[in-house]
Structure 1
Amino acid sequence: MGHNSLANSKSQQQPCLEERNTRVITELYKALTSKETETPLNGLVAQDLEWWFHGPSCHRHHLVPRLTGSLPSSKALVPEHVVGFGPVVIAEGFDDANLAWWVHAWTINAKGVITQVKEYVNTSVTVTLLVVPNPSASNKCQCIWQSTLRDESVPGLILAI
């Protein structure tokens, strides 16, 4: 296989990876908002899920209790937007009951299992892709996604992937 064939093969795999990962996260939110008493998360989420939280402490328990099944399903976890960037999938929504904007950045491993979530509440998030320094390209970060469900009062963060 020549160099161009290998490059074409890799570029064709990336959209498939992003599509698969976006489907995994879409299925996760369906399970989390299901009326079922047993949330079918087995196989979707790693048992040693790494969780990061950024936001006001009063919203610290927005996501994790639902992942562990200690809180019932909620419309608060219906994402408005879901977009994939390789192994990372970003989901964004609004919790009417708590007046909270949220962004979840999920990391999915090669087996399609969620291994990490970074939860941002009442914070505007911009996701950037760091480019590798290249003499023929710009050395700057490219902005590739920004929160839309926010107002001017929420602070902003940049998440580099």
Structure 2
Amino acid sequence: MTLESPRVEDGAAIWRIARDSRALDLNSSYSYLLWCRDFSATSLVARAADGDPVAFVTGYLRPDRPGTLVVWQIAVDETHRGRGLAGVLLDALTARVSPEAVETTVTPDNTPSDRLFTAYAARHGLRLEREVLFDGRLFPDTADGAHQPEVLYRMSPFHTPGASL
């Protein structure tokens, strides 16, 4: 398995992995192509031996807080789950980006993501703060208006080598 920046050609596979996760809000296939083009420096794909993507993490640096990496989505193909690959992707991405903080949102019913980010914060000795970022009533595209709230997970502080604590 190799980890590398996504290429535009990976957009379709990333879209399929997100769709098949049944846990992520699926974006348009076009958005995954753009993500692979415009945010490849803050995203990673895990490739199987045949070169096909089997997992991904997408992220971006917040324009108003460029030291904050926002993890947009992370997903692992069903055939590769249970091996810690999501944690490996998070560790590799933050090692590459060297952020001051990491943010993501998790819905209350997404236990696997809660476990992933809670374990990530503990593994890196980070403070983990949680607060509702977007109330579920703000989402206009749910059939019954019952979108789960998006809870912001903010993990910090990261310390750079040689910095005083």
With normalisation by structure 1, the TM-score equals 0.31
Q: Flag the structure with higher helix content.
A: 2
Give the structure with higher Rg (CA). Answer: 1
